[in-house]
Every structure is written in C-alpha cells, then in structure tokens.
C-alpha cells in the first residue's frame, strides 16, 4: 500500500505532506509585529506564508507541531569565515543562515552540499584586494581566499571569478593600516562590474580615509562598523542614505571596554540616528567569539541605542528562504535580559511526516 493509499484510507488524501504548522505561545515577525498564541505555516521546513496566524485558523486535519516558546524568522550572522569555524556548532547555537565574507574555494564548495546540520550559506568568494594588500600577509588567509586585482582591466575578470563560485556579493579589502589598498580606478571598475552583474559590493574599511573612499566609489555595505576613526557627521549622514553596515562590535574587546569599541559604538549610534541600516554580524572566526547567537554582540547593539525589535530586524530577512528559529522558554524582551534570552534560540529542524513506509 502506498502512502497516498494510506492517507486516503484515513480521509487525509488532500493533505500536503510537505506542509506543517508550528504552534507557538508567541512570535515576532518583522518590524514590531508581535503575536500571542499563534501558528506558522511551513513548507519543506521554510515559512510558507506572510506571517503567523491565530492558532484556531489552522485548517482542520493539517499536520501540526507544538513548539511553545517564541517563534522567529531564521536568525542570520552576516559576517562569518566558514573555514575558521565549526558551522554545525553555529547552527546548533541558533543561527539559521550565515554570510561567508571570504573563504578559500574548497571551503565554499563544502557549503554547496545540502546538509541539514549546517546553516544555509551565502558567499562572496575571495577578498578582492590590491597587490600585496590585506589580507595577503595574514596567516589565517588561506590560498584562494583573496584575489589581487592588478588593474581596472583585471577587475571584470576578478568579479567574474567570484560569480563562478556562486557569489551573492563582492567583497573588497580597503585596509590602509596594513598595506596597499586598491587604487580608485581599480575600485571603481570592481564596483561597476559587480553592479552590472546585479551584485552589491561589501568593503572592509580600516585606516584613515578608507570610509570616504568606500562611499565615494559606491560601496553598498561595510563588513564592519568603522572603528579606526570617528566618521565625519556629514559623511555619516550621506552614508546612512545609501549604505548598510554589518555590526561586528564584539571583536573590539570580546566583552571588555576598549577605545576601538567606543569609537565603533559612537559611529554606529550616529549612523542609526541618521537612518542607517544595521545587519547583525560577528566576524566569526576572528578571535574568541561564541558560535551561534553572540549575547555580547546583542548587548553591544543595545548599548548603541538599538531596541530589541531593532536587533531582531538586524538579524533577520523575511525574504530569505531559511528555516525559522524559536526560543524554547519564550523570548524575554526586557532589555537587561534580552541578549541572554535570545542566545538560547534554536533553529527549527524539519520533521518528516510520520507515515508508514
């Protein structure tokens, strides 16, 4: 007897076995959209509707799973180096999606494997940098994780190479404290080639003048909140209208106060006050950062003026096809307890229909 025959025998022949409903005590689903007792429709383990609905609106006979707690969109870390961390630990720590911002080809190939124990991944390919530029001199930068761009003519080829490995964005390194940086003409050519291909450009900016260079040449996102200089108010206001920033505050002290953390926090606070968009990211692989949701990063964002709802917005993208997350004990939105509560989040694992073979 087939599974269809069994479903027909039970009067459930119209049930979609790829679909289920999660039943939760509460949910947050973008902006300031909080729900009480509710249900979230999943298809193949991913949200299939626009938002949770009242639990009593679940269709009769539908497959349901009781989770309790608080359901959230899939949580994302927008700055990870997959070759330097255990991604299974990252997923078990509550992160459903990672953005790899620079890894070697063999690492990127492993991310393309359909493995439910790993977070979903988007990649940029290699760092594009100046000849002998950062991170070519770093011990952690494996062969193939950076690509030196020799000239404006070389820029289009460099961007095309990253497209071949499935890049969702292009990353450039502008670190004047560590060595040469891309000339304006080469950087402009990279940005032009990337934008022509429909890809945004992310920049690592470090050192005097690099924030200005990134803005002037059309960079779309910063890989880190600037920390080596206090960004000029006018530049900051302009950048807030066109750029987004990835937070990475905790790398400046790993829980202790430092001048770099204070500078970054001040820049981030003013950027947000001007309307700038922040993405939660940790630079995971860079120092003693916890895998999964980092409560210190969350606490730093709160200290910079973000609300708990703002932090959740920075950690999620409702358009991204990733599994949802949930906080088993319910998410405590009290600012003093929010970070620790959120760090208990888990990714919702798919459950196969319980049908006879």
pLDDT for res 356: 38
Helix (H) or strand (E) holding 196: helix 184-196
pLDDT for res 55: 94
The residue written with tokens 């204070």 in the block is: 262
- Rounded CA separation 22/324 (Å): 10
Burial of 114 per CB tally in 10 Å (0-12, 13-18, 19+) = exposed
- Rounded CA separation 150/147 (Å): 9
3-state secondary structure of 308: helix
Burial 139-175 (b: 16+ CB within 10 A, else e): eebbeebbbbbeebebbbebbeebbebebbbbbbbbb
Which parts of the chain have pLDDT scores under 70?
1-17, 352-357
Q: Beta partners for 39?
A: 23, 53
Pseudo-torsion of CA 71, 77, 78, 83, nearest 10°?
-140
pLDDT for res 352: 57
Tokens of residue 23, six digits: 């039943």
- Rounded CA separation 150/118 (Å): 36
Pseudo-torsion of CA 235, 251, 306, 209, nearest 10°?
0
pLDDT for res 240: 98
pLDDT for res 326: 97
3-state secondary structure of 70: strand
pLDDT for res 17: 64
- Dihedrals phi, psi of 161, to nearest 5 degrees: -65, -40
CA 210 to chain centroid: 23
Tokens of residue 127, six digits: 């760092």
Beta strand spans in the chain (E): 19-24, 26-28, 34-35, 38-43, 46-47, 53-54, 64-66, 70-72, 76-80, 97-100, 120-123, 127-129, 146-148, 170-175, 201-206, 221-222, 244-246, 277-279, 325-327, 346-347
Secondary structure (DSSP) of 246-302: E---TTTTTTS--HHHHHHHHHHHHHHHTT-EEE----BTSSSPPSSS-HHHHHHHH
pLDDT for res 353: 52
């Amino acid at each position: 007897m087939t599974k269809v025959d069994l479903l027909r025998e039970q009067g459930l022949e119209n049930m979609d076995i790829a679909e289920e409903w999660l039943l939760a005590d509460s949910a947050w689903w973008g902006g300031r959209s909080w729900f009480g007792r509710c249900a979230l429709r999943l298809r193949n383990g991913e949200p299939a509707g626009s938002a949770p609905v009242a639990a009593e609106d679940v269709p009769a006979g539908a497959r349901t799973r009781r989770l309790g707690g608080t359901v959230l969109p899939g949580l994302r870390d927008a700055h990870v180096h997959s070759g330097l961390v255990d991604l299974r630990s990252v997923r078990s720590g509550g992160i459903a999606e990672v953005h790899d911002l620079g890894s070697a080809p063999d690492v990127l190939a492993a991310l393309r494997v359909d493995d439910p124990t790993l977070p979903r991944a988007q990649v940029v390919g290699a760092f594009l940098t100046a000849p002998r530029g950062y991170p070519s001199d770093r011990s952690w930068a494996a062969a193939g994780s950076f690509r030196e761009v020799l000239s404006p003519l070389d820029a289009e080829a460099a961007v095309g190479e990253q497209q071949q490995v499935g890049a969702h964005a292009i990353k450039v390194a502008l670190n004047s404290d560590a060595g040469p940086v891309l000339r304006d003409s080469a950087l402009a050519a990279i940005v032009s080639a990337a934008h022509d291909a429909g890809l945004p450009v992310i920049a690592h900016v470090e050192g005097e003048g690099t924030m200005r260079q990134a803005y002037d040449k059309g960079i779309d996102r910063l890989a880190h909140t600037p920390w080596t200089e206090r960004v000029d108010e006018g530049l900051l206001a302009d950048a807030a209208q066109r750029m987004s920033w990835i937070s990475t505050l905790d790398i400046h002290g790993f829980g202790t106060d430092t001048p770099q953390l204070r500078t970054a926090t001040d820049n981030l606070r003013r950027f947000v006050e001007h309307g700038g968009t922040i993405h939660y990211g940790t630079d995971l692989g860079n120092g003693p950062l916890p895998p999964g949701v980092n409560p210190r990063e969350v606490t730093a964002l709160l200290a910079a003026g973000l609300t708990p709802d703002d932090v959740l917005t920075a950690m999620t993208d409702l358009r991204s096809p990733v599994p949802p997350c949930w906080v088993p004990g319910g998410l405590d939105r009290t600012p003093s307890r929010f970070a620790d509560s959120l760090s208990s989040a888990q990714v919702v694992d798919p459950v196969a229909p319980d049908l006879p073979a």
